[in-house]
């Protein structure tokens, strides 16, 4: 721990020097990124300082307990040490978490892609419910939500919806949503009252900046076409919708929600960069021998990460065997207990890996 703290101190001083450089201040993106890292490091180093102070005070009190002939002074030192030992243990535990390997994307904005899986119209309605759930969660946290692209069906569901959630740590808190959630409920579209099972797929990508991934103009094919709504009807009279194809990877992104072709192209490129960054990082993980499964599979109900069971008012996350009740609140965006439990489980796994 001591070696790692020394490294963080060195990095802290480097950043302190750089953020006071006039050239850095002119580059707002760079300045903002460094300021965020500076703030995080300052908090960790202050915690490390308190930890060292507690250790030092405990040692001084132990010396008093061992050498002093004053019973009252010894008693005071013993009482203080009981409190200090508790403080020291809490600080040490937090520092262990602070020093765990960090996902470099944790501080980025998140791009979420939700698609209807198995289950027909009910899967599309469930995709819309998930979009509302994460939008409401973001609103409660004060995050900004921006719709990028959507493909609706006539009864109010989504075949696909892609949106941006902007905030520091947005990706950190929302990346655990990736996978295939399933739903069990009596659909509004079914009169017989039989419980129906369907699924959606959720991909969560860190928003990539131009510096994160290089896209050559000659590698892109950009097509413009007329936007369409549910059932294929035209929703405007201009060719404002954009389809961007990245030729080397054959990755295709379509965006039609904006009336401006330029804005649709900008949004499509944002999603494209993020998908390519995710693919690049997945390839690097496989090279390192990390066999972690990809974010989304086929959308089949057998690949669920969690189940929303409405008849039993229950949400179960199968990865950490956690069950929560009160689905009404959960569907309104009250998912902090779930997110916090997943983060703690991830931290626990990393701590266990370090001790092996």
Quick: pLDDT tens for 164-216: 999 988 999 999 999 999 999 988 766 667 888 999 999 999 998 877 788 99
Highest mean pLDDT among 20-34, 224-238, 317-331: 317-331
Residue 291 or 247, more confident? 247
User: Any alpha helices (H) in the chain, and if so which ranges?
Assistant: 2-19, 22-26, 28-67, 71-98, 121-141, 170-174, 261-287, 327-331, 336-355
Q: What is the pLDDT of residues 80-94, one digit of tens each?
A: 999 999 999 999 999
pLDDT at residue 286 above 80?
no
Please give the share of the chain, as a percent, with pLDDT higher than 90: 66
CATH architecture of 110-211+292-350: 2-Layer Sandwich (3.30)
Residue with tokens 């989304």: 296
Q: What is the CATH number of domain 217-286?
A: 3.30.160.20
Please report the pLDDT score of residue 209 as a whole number.
Answer: 81
Mean of pLDDT over the chain? 88
**pLDDT above 70 covers what percent of the chain?**
91
State the pLDDT at residue 211: 72
pLDDT score of 294 more than 50: no
Q: How far apart (Å, rounded) are the C-alpha atoms in residues 180 and 198?
A: 10
Q: pLDDT tens across 126-177, in order?
A: 999 999 999 999 999 999 999 999 999 888 899 999 999 999 889 999 999 9
Dihedral sign computed on CA atoms, order 14, 173, 147, 151: positive
Give residue 320's pLDDT: 92
Q: Are 39 and 80 in contact (CB under 8 A)?
A: no
Between 36 and 303, the more confident residue is: 36
**Cα gap 112→6, rounded to integer Å:** 37
Q: How far apart are CA 145 and CA 165, in angstroms?
A: 5
Position 324 pLDDT exceeds 60: yes
Give the whole-angstrom CA distance, residue 210 versus residue 270.
9
With 60 as the cut, is the pLDDT of residue 314 above it?
Answer: yes
State the alpha helices, DSSP H only, in 184-324. 261-287
- What would the pLDDT profile of 224-274 be if each residue is shown by its tens digit? 988 766 554 544 546 788 999 999 999 999 998 888 899 999 999 999 999
pLDDT of residue 251: 93
Mean pLDDT in residue range 12-23: 94
What pLDDT sits at residue 230?
A: 55
Please state, as a whole number, how many other Cβ atoms lie within 10 Å of the Cβ of residue 225. 13
**Spatial distance between the Cα atoms of 327 and 42, rounded to a whole number of angstroms:** 39
Contacts of residue 285, defined as CB under 8 A and 6 or more positions apart, other chains included, come to 292
| C-alpha separations of 290 from 13, 42, 45, 95, 255 in Å | 34, 32, 31, 26, 33
Q: Is the pLDDT of residue 302 over 60?
A: no
């Amino acid at each position: 721990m001591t070696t790692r703290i020394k490294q963080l101190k060195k990095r802290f001083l480097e950043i302190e020097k750089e953020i006071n450089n006039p050239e850095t201040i002119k580059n707002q993106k760079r300045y903002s990124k460094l300021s965020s890292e500076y703030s995080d490091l300052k908090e960790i180093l202050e915690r490390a300082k308190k930890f060292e102070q507690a250790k030092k005070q405990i040692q001084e009190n132990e010396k008093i307990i061992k050498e002093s002939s004053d019973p009252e002074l010894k008693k005071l030192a013993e009482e203080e040490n009981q409190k200090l030992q508790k403080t020291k243990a809490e600080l040490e535990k937090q520092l262990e978490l602070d020093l765990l390997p960090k996902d470099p994307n944790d501080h980025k904005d998140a791009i979420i892609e939700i698609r209807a899986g198995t289950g027909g119209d009910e899967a599309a309605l469930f995709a819309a419910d998930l979009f509302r759930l994460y939008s409401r969660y973001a609103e409660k946290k004060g995050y900004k939500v921006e719709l990028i692209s959507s493909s609706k069906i006539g009864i109010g569901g989504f075949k696909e919806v892609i949106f941006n959630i902007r905030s520091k740590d947005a990706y950190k808190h929302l990346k655990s949503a990736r996978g295939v959630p399933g739903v069990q409920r009596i659909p509004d579209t079914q009169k017989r009252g039989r419980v129906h099972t369907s699924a959606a797929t959720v991909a969560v990508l860190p928003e990539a900046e131009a510096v994160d991934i290089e896209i050559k103009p000659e590698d892109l094919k950009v097509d413009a076409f007329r936007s369409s709504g549910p059932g294929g009807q035209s929703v405007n009279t201009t060719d404002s919708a954009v389809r961007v194809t990245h030729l080397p990877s054959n990755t295709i992104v379509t965006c039609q929600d904006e009336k401006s072709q330029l804005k649709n192209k900008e949004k499509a490129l944002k999603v494209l960069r993020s998908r390519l960054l995710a693919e690049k990082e997945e390839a690097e993980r496989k090279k390192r021998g990390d066999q972690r499964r990809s974010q989304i599979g086929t959308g089949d109900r057998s690949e669920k990460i969690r189940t929303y069971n409405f008849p039993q008012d229950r949400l179960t996350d199968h990865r950490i065997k956690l069950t929560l009740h009160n689905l009404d609140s959960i569907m309104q965006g009250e998912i902090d207990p779930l997110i916090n439990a997943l983060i703690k489980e991830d931290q626990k796994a990393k701590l266990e890996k370090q001790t092996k």
